[in-house]
Structure 1
Amino acid sequence: MTTSKQLQSANPTPEVFSGWFLSGQVDESEPLRKFPVHSDPFTVGRQSDSSLCLPTGCISKNHAELTFRDDGTLILRDLGSTNGTYVNGEVITGDTVVNEDDIIQFATIVFRIGSDDVESVGNTIAEDVCDQALAIIQFERLISDGGLYPHFQPIVTLADQKRIGYEVLGRSRLFGLQSPHEMFTAASQLNMEAQLSEAFRQRGVEIGTAFGSDCNLFVNTHPKELDRTEFYESLKTLRESAPDQAITLEIHEAASTNLTMMRELCAFLKDYEIHLAFDDFGVGRARLVELGEVRPDYLKFDMKLTKNIEMAPPSRQELVALFANMVNSLGIKTLAEGVETRECHEILVEMGFQLGQGYYYGRPSPISKYTKSDSDPQTDPDLIDGGQSTGPIKIEEI
């Protein structure tokens, strides 16, 4: 990584800067793009005549510039911006040398510097590593600046396929952080899995209230947050933000073996009128005896048990049906995941399952697909401006 150096800048010939580029996203809805550094100086700002125009409120009109020395050294300079310019996570205060694969950040907008003329062994691996670094740097933007765009997947009663709720699933448009796996990978590097999980729930309920208070929103947890006192505070805040909303908290079935923790959690959820679901039942350590000790409201059978069950051997079908009927007898609602075909749906009904979830009933989608409020920017994640900071970033007047 580079360090800041005070340097003089001079105009080179066009050939010097012809191969340099910035790689990143101007807007979260756009794909990753390359922006050639085609001039000296190469200006960055909100002004429309900037070499790289970033039309968002956290960027100053004249934010920063890139210049070249005679020897081709690339220099980055902040132009007195409100929210700062950073190289590899450190704010710059003077002329700063930047090299290939450095991470440059203008306020909350992040780019990687690259050069088509520079060849190195293992260049693809190096780019992957730098893209991972870019994703980690953008993680704060994901949490603080409204970068989460929840998707919703229907949950239906199998008897009539009526929707009774939706599972909230995390998504993002930030480069390198689109999928839950990518987001939690970045979060693990910062030991912030619990904070990401909390943000998923809060954002999902905030958007999901557009379904109506009777619609049950199934929100997820991360194993690392279950033994934190902040976890209970986050659930209290969640309930206070939507006092009348039907909410179900999903816990991985492996956590059900900790009976002391589960009893404490159940008592808390009962006080705040939040339902409980055990997720991924049937592939871990959960046992039916524990269901007798701590009974959730819902039991979600792992899709490894129920997906394509219509093509499974009769012995497996009989075993799954036996499990479903035993759980039903305990007064727990059985939910089959991974339902993708009509044939699978029909055999699950015969087995006694009460609820279903899967592509057959609907794919994870923005709320606009399932409501009539797709023109309302308050409820449609496709229309909400996730680039405006609600944290310490200041929004400049245009």
Structure 2
Amino acid sequence: LAEKNDHIADMTLFVLQRTLRDLAQWHGAGIEVKAAVNISARLLISPAFFDAVEAALRVSDTSASDLIFEVTESATMADPAAALRALEGYRRMGIMISLDDYGTGQSTLTYLKTLPLGELKIDRSFVENAHEDSSDALLVRSTVNLAHALGLQVVAEGIETVECLDFLREVGCDLAQGYFVSRPLPASELLTLCLSNSTSPKTPVRTAA
């Protein structure tokens, strides 16, 4: 709806600026945290948005290396060459690129080869029953192994049970996302959650804006 009404750029920039402020607050409290922002297909190839991201980072107290841009495979399809140039530009800024909804597209292996990725997010449709479905388990395990062999970190989406989380630990998945970990929270409550679960002043955390 935001894309159709031409509000997606303003909305995403608002989210980005808020995320940078929240990151600065979390870091000030001693929490080592990265945050991910979803980037739509329209913005991915927008030079104006690219410039706005650069400007936001220049005035921020947060390092670009603490920021992750999540894109879907479909976001790169309309103009693959322009999308690749933009993603490479964001990587040069220091922003990690994450491929969201991995496993649901048509040319995933090609994208793993060509895009400047730092992370894969395995779609919840493969993850949520992987601890009890042998086919899903094989797909998740092989994806984790492939990603690690390519030097990528892996996020699994859709964790809603301890059994699923235990399976992901067993196969070596790096990060987990889902209601079992936490439902969406305001920034202040997320800080409280991180502090209450910290065993040291520097506990790696990942959040999505």
TM-score (norm 2): 0.79
| Aligned match of 1:346 | 166
Label 1:244 to 1:196 Cα distance change in 2 as closer, same or farther (>3 A): closer
Matches within 5 A, 1:100-249: 185=1, 187-188=2-3, 190-212=5-27, 214-245=32-63, 246-249=66-69
Name segments (4+ residues, structure 1) moved above 4 Å: 256-259
Determine which of 129, 132, 154 is the counterpart of 1:311: 132
- Structure showing greater Rg: 1
Asked if structure 1 preserves the Cα contact closer than 8 Å seen for 2:119 and 2:153, the reply is yes
Q: Match of 1:370, SS?
A: helix
Cα deviation, residue 358, structure 1: 1.1
Cα deviation, residue 264, structure 1: 1.1
Asked if structure 1 preserves the Cα contact closer than 8 Å seen for 2:73 and 2:105, the reply is yes
Label 1:243 to 1:210 Cα distance change in 2 as closer, same or farther (>3 A): closer
Q: Please give the alpha-carbon distance, in whole angstroms, between the structure 2 residues aligned to 1:266 and 1:227.
A: 9
Q: Match of 1:324, SS?
A: helix
Cα deviation, residue 237, structure 1: 2.0
| Aligned match of 2:195 | none
Asked if structure 1 preserves the Cα contact closer than 8 Å seen for 2:17 and 2:56, the reply is yes
Label 1:256 to 1:346 Cα distance change in 2 as closer, same or farther (>3 A): farther
Determine which of 351, 366, 371 is the counterpart of 2:186: 366
Q: Match of 1:250, SS?
A: strand
Label 1:219 to 1:189 Cα distance change in 2 as closer, same or farther (>3 A): closer
Q: Please give the alpha-carbon distance, in whole angstroms, between the structure 1 residues aligned to 2:119 and 2:3.
A: 29
Label 1:244 to 1:231 Cα distance change in 2 as closer, same or farther (>3 A): same
* RMSD between aligned residues: 2.1
Q: Match of 2:9, SS?
A: helix
Q: Match of 1:216, SS?
A: strand
Task: Name structure 2 gaps, 5 residues minimum.
Answer: 193-209
TM-score (norm 1): 0.44
Q: Please give the alpha-carbon distance, in whole angstroms, between the structure 2 residues aligned to 1:272 and 1:316.
A: 36
Over the matched positions of the two proteins, sequence identity in percent amounts to 25
Q: Please give the alpha-carbon distance, in whole angstroms, between the structure 2 residues aligned to 1:234 and 1:307.
A: 37
Matches within 5 A, 1:236-315: 236-245=54-63, 246-257=66-77, 259-312=80-133, 314-315=134-135
| Aligned match of 1:29 | none
Cα deviation, residue 243, structure 1: 4.5
Q: Deviations over 1:62-110 (max 9, x none)?
A: xxxxxxxxxxxxxxxxxxxxxxxxxxxxxxxxxxxxxxxxxxxxxxxxx
Q: Match of 2:191, SS?
A: coil
Label 1:224 to 1:266 Cα distance change in 2 as closer, same or farther (>3 A): closer
Q: Deviations over 1:104-155 (max 9, x none)?
A: xxxxxxxxxxxxxxxxxxxxxxxxxxxxxxxxxxxxxxxxxxxxxxxxxxxx
Cα deviation, residue 203, structure 1: 2.0
Aligned residues: 186
Asked if structure 2 preserves the Cα contact closer than 8 Å seen for 1:208 and 1:367, the reply is no
| Bigger relative CO (Cα 8 Å, ≥ 6 apart) | 2
Label 1:190 to 1:315 Cα distance change in 2 as closer, same or farther (>3 A): closer
Q: Deviations over 1:216-258 (max 9, x none)?
A: 1111112221222111012102211325331111111223455
Label 1:320 to 1:252 Cα distance change in 2 as closer, same or farther (>3 A): same
Cα deviation, residue 204, structure 1: 2.4
Q: Please give the alpha-carbon distance, in whole angstroms, between the structure 2 residues aligned to 1:371 and 1:283.
A: 33
Q: Please give the alpha-carbon distance, in whole angstroms, between the structure 1 residues aligned to 2:41 and 2:62.
A: 27
Cα deviation, residue 274, structure 1: 1.1
Q: Please give the alpha-carbon distance, in whole angstroms, between the structure 2 residues aligned to 1:288 and 1:259.
A: 15
The answer to which structure has the higher strand fraction is: 1
Task: Name structure 1 gaps, 5 residues minimum.
Answer: 1-184, 373-398
Matches within 5 A, 1:11-26: none
Asked if structure 2 preserves the Cα contact closer than 8 Å seen for 1:247 and 1:275, the reply is yes
The answer to which structure has the higher helix fraction is: 2
Q: Deviations over 1:157-202 (max 9, x none)?
A: xxxxxxxxxxxxxxxxxxxxxxxxxxxx3x3453222222222222
